[in-house]
Amino acid sequence: MGAKRRFKIWRGDQAGGDLKDYDVEVNDGEVVLDVIHRLQATQTPDLACRWNCKAGKCGSCSMEINGTPRLGCMTRMSTFAEDETVTVTPLRAFPVVRDLVTDVSFNYDKARQTPAFAPPADLAPGEYRMQQVDVERSQEFRKCIECFLCQNTCHVVRDHEENKKAFAGPRYFIRAAELDMHPLDAQEDRKEFAQASMGMGYCNITKCCTEVCPEHIKITDNAIIPMKERVVDRRYDPLVWLGRKIFRRDQLDGAGQVPATALVGARTEGSEVAQHHGLNWHREIPQPQAAPVDETGRLPISEITADRPGGPSPFGDDQTFPLPPEGLNYAHPSGTEQG
């Protein structure tokens, strides 16, 4: 028979809730999820908690244990001091459904916005040939059990609901990286898409996601940083630069380019908010855009080498004027509140 231990568990729903105290028996070798099951069986049968495999393979029992995002089934009670109170709360980045269960549909929406694997057109099933070393890089990311702990811990969205529209999160950066590194994936612009439409630019590489990953995937080092580097590579690649100069825009690989739908969507919705409440100080700040500099880091000197009449804009190639009103920190004095 085990000793009694003190637990604090968040109980409630969208309307609000509170930490409730429970004293519960804990036996040798148990994990936090076992304790929650004991509570369900003995004290509070309606305590809501997701779980499936109980072996760290399905990624269902994600929760925050003493403030750290963890899997309940992989957190052994022996990691706490004998007299330590264990506090269990739902994932903070997602809306609560009830008790420890949160609405994780954000992640499934982002999954749908990530372009799927594009099979090579010239290979029939059974004809795929790949080397083990080549598949291993993608396989690391396919270990992901979709526990969404990385999504939950990422500070870009953890306390910034407003960033969720434009930011896909670490889970989907590794998905993009996985497909980018797939030896036979036919789509070419994974990195550009990640930068333009998945909000990878928001990530400033604090590695919080890597720290909480129960599968020990090196999310930042092996996926995000290489993706970012290669986006930069491309932008400053002399050949690509030359191509930009000598070809017309419609001859460039624009067909493969994906429109920044996520960002566009975010801005339109942001503008609605702004209209209703005057100036929205929490609006989406447009991501900084690099000026079209050459390899010396300077703008082209003359109009002849520039790709547009009148010379390039120092504000970046893809900026249009006048700036869209929702991109300005300015509220018209006439106010939209009355109207």
Residues 100 and 37: beta-carbon distance below 8 Å: no
Q: Which of 19, 48, 258, 331 binds another protein (CB under 8 A)?
A: 48
Considering only CA atoms, which of 171, 148, 172 is closest in space to residue 58? Answer: 148
Q: Is residue 4 close enough to count as binding another protein by CB under 8 A?
A: no
Q: Is residue 58 close enough to count as binding another protein by CB under 8 A?
A: yes
Choose one: 17-25, 126-134, 251-259, 276-284; the region binding another protein (CB under 8 A): 126-134
One-letter amino acid at 48 equals A
Residue whose CB is less far from another protein, 152 or 280: 152
We find the least distance from the C-beta atom of residue 106 to another protein, in angstroms, to be 12
Residue whose CB is less far from another protein, 140 or 284: 140
Q: Which of 8, 19, 20, 54 binds another protein (CB under 8 A)?
A: 54
We find the least distance from the C-beta atom of residue 128 to another protein, in angstroms, to be 5
We find the least distance from the C-beta atom of residue 230 to another protein, in angstroms, to be 20
Considering only CA atoms, which of 206, 180, 58, 75 is closest in space to residue 117? Answer: 180
We find the least distance from the C-beta atom of residue 83 to another protein, in angstroms, to be 21
Q: Is residue 55 close enough to count as binding another protein by CB under 8 A?
A: yes
Q: Is residue 268 close enough to count as binding another protein by CB under 8 A?
A: no
Q: Which two tokens stand for residue 78?
A: 């022996």
Residue whose CB is less far from another protein, 139 or 336: 139
The label of the residue with tokens 């520039």 reads 306
Q: How many residues bind another protein (CB under 8 A)?
A: 60
We find the least distance from the C-beta atom of residue 131 to another protein, in angstroms, to be 6
Torsion of CA 308, 313, 317, 320, to 10 degrees: -100
We find the least distance from the C-beta atom of residue 91 to another protein, in angstroms, to be 13
Is beta strand 62-65 parallel, antiparallel or unpaired with respect to 68-71? antiparallel
Q: Is residue 49 close enough to count as binding another protein by CB under 8 A?
A: yes
Q: Does residue 170 have a cis peptide bond before it, meaning omega lies within 30 degrees of 0?
A: no
Q: Which two tokens stand for residue 333?
A: 């004095």
Q: Is residue 119 close enough to count as binding another protein by CB under 8 A?
A: yes
From residue 225 to residue 264, the character string flagging contacts with another protein as x (rule: CB under 8 A) and all else as - is ----------------------------------------
Q: Which of 16, 45, 297, 310 binds another protein (CB under 8 A)?
A: 45
Relative orientation angle of helices 238-246 and 225-236, to the nearest 10 degrees: 50
Q: Is residue 93 close enough to count as binding another protein by CB under 8 A?
A: no
Residues 96 and 13: beta-carbon distance below 8 Å: yes
Residues 254 and 205: beta-carbon distance below 8 Å: no
Residue whose CB is less far from another protein, 91 or 274: 91
DSSP letter string, 243-278: HHHHS-GGGSGGGG----HHHHHHHHHHHHHHHHHS
- Residue 298: is it exposed, middle or buried by C-beta count within 10 angstroms (0-12/13-18/19+)? exposed
CA distances from 283 to 151, 194, 297, 317, 327 (A): 21, 21, 31, 23, 8
Residues 87 and 67: beta-carbon distance below 8 Å: yes
By CB under 8 A, name the binding residues for another protein. 13, 27-31, 34, 40-42, 45-60, 74, 76, 78, 97-99, 101, 103-104, 108, 111-112, 115-117, 119, 125-126, 128-132, 135, 138-139, 142-146, 179, 182, 185
